[in-house]
Structure 1
Amino acid sequence: MPARVFALAWRNIVRNARRSLITVSAVALGLISLIFLWGFNDGVHNTMMRNLQQVIVGSIQIHADGFFHHPKLVHTVPDVNRVAGLLKSAGVAHYSGRLRTFALAAGEDSSEGLILLGIDPLVERQVTRMDSKVDQGRFLRDNQEAACVLGRTTARNLGVVPGDEVVLLSEDRYGSLAAERVRLVGVINSGEMGIDRGLAIVPLGFMQQMTGMQGRYSEIVVQLQPARLEAVASQLKQGLDQSYEVLRWYDMYPMMKQWVELENAFYYIFLSIVLLIVAAGIMNTVLMSMLERIHEFGVMMALGCGRMQLAGMVVIESVLLGVAGIAIGVMVGMLLVHYFHGVGIDLSDQMDSITRFYLNPVVRTEIDTDHLLNTVLAVLMAALLAAVWPAIRASRLEPVEAIRHV
């Protein structure tokens, strides 16, 4: 009997081919729009989050407890070897040690307060892409060279260019004044305010020597694939005591994650509106089909077709229309996402002022699996709900009255 009900539902769809095609096209068009918009949305958000992590922040940072909110030079990672062992056991291949403090940088005629960041140039290249942001000159090469890289705004404020000397003044581990003269070898132009202004990058070995912090690190920066972030962070927190803090990128910069979640919420509102339109279209088709076949339904019931079977046939018609529209929508939508992932959407004219949010001027579409699945399931649910009222009306028909209906 289920096979017979399915066959009757399919026959009714084919019999009203024009109306069915219009409904399927509406479902497909709505789904294509949703998939492409999710692709654009996820492309922007994922790029922002990747750039934040890969340019400077990393996926996870490990400090002494409280260092992130109250950074002091003497608050170093308690046991670097212990952290390295845990990272190795967690299968983490890419991480780097850094030293961070506050300093005053002085050019020939001006000075500016900034963060002094010591990195190992060779190790850092395996963890972040800081070196790719150098716009003038070069990045650091030697771990001991008396050299520095400045952000574009800082270099402009100090009136220095690659090749000029910069004086750095800070405190050493004993609280005494530490001052060194370094050569500016490169200028970073990242578009991000926190990097382009207020940051000086020097070789880790040189900074450790300058501040008397040999063998000590303020932070361990870890780079991971997104899928491994939570598992590795949990493992590190379990393996380290309260003298450490293990911070994921969004623990340090929660505003970006909240922004992404807020924009996703707006997309879900838009999804709801489209689903209402899709459901209305399917319900209209199924209801019109049912009203046109009241006489036929009366004959079927007189011949022994049960009310539940009749209602099931109406539901199956709605689901078949929804599934056909979903199949076409997913295929075309994913082709569009794949195409624009390759060629990109150039928005450089509109994005000059917002590169500070780690956006790329060329957006490459991509869609997260959960967003795709949620959208497809929502459209399928809309198709099911659209059949409820027509199915109820069909099940309430009285055979005699339905047969007499013209």
Structure 2
Amino acid sequence: MTSTEATTAPRPEVRTAHSEPTELIGDLARAGRAAQSRLARLSGPEKAHALQLAASSLRNAEAEILGANAQDVDAAQKAGLSGALLDRLTLDAARIEGIASAVEAVAALPDPVGQTIDRTERPNGLVLERVRVPIGLLGIIYESRPNVTADAAALCVRAGNAVLLRGGSEAVRSNRAIHAALVRGLVEGGVPAEAVQLIPTQDRAAVGAMLAAAGLIDMIIPRGGKGLVARVQADARVPVLAHLDGICHTYVHHAADPAMARQIAYNAKLRRTGICGAMETLLLDTQFPESAALLGDLLDGGCEVRGDARARSMDARIKAASAEDWDTEYLEAVLSVAVVDGLGDAVNHIAAHSSGHTDVIVTEDATVAEEFLALVDSAIVMVNASSQFADGWEFGLGAEIGIATGRLHARGPVALEGLTTYKWLVRGSGQVRP
């Protein structure tokens, strides 16, 4: 398809932001589905070129985006948003460059559409293939982070999907500026404008209309706090790919290298406290010899530590942990600490309190490490590494849409493959079933 064909085809009428929410979402969804059928005809190189133009457009719009973001940050500060949310919201020149680079990284990835997953030939001569195809029209509901606007758009376009984006009110100006810049580049590259649409209202009823749009929206992806995800899962009549909270554990086994354990624990908690891969609970083996020193590093680094009785006996600065602490995603410089009696105790604690996001063991015992990998049923399980590596970019996937913590369709960092499904191609030579 040429650029002219992609941008001049008739567009379904889309109502304004003042439309009744169900009608608005219906109109946007129908426009998105029409755009997706045109997007699906673009080749991999054509989609990559459009994304490269979108990245350039983002860089060219830096001043516009930063101006919009400054207004959002000012409003968020006046509203009393937490430090973690402000960190997620705030953009600067380096972060805008990071957003543009992430779009380019997605453009450089192999196109998943049309990839053969497997191929078999039956005894009767039928040849069967499973081939990746786009899911269709996705609805993405997210909070705080304006970079999600670009990440989601890039991933969806590369995988051949159209998308309806609904960002949080705290980032509304930033999202609009990023979306406008992205679409300018995409349209220049031949992608229909309606393939990436930003919901033009912050009316919460629009979210409800998205969740009820069965038959129009093919999948909903929520990215935000526990309240948002819980509402989406409870109310959706559309399939949901859930990104739950990140209650991430690090277990320091008694055979851990002390220097490594101290470095990993400090980084896992304090590198960036507001990301979903930040450690929220530290489990210290009762026989680990440097627990007090490790906890001292965290306390000296400005972390509030809440622990059980054995942890509190190591440092007077440690506060008593409540029952709720073990199930809390702090997203700030607060950490819960428990002392455990070996691998089994650690695995049991994780099974009871982990959100299934990312859990880590630090140990020099290879046998214990393999047992931990086998026994812990989280989307990401690590040995001797900071949980802050739980990120699609670090996994070599480019930008990600989130960390899926469920068990169906996609798990862990959701990037291009997670945004596709497959169909069966069956080639025969006249076979009939007896």
Q: TM-score, normalised by structure 2?
A: 0.19
The structure that has the greater radius of gyration is: 1
Higher relative contact order (CA 8 A, sep 6+): 1
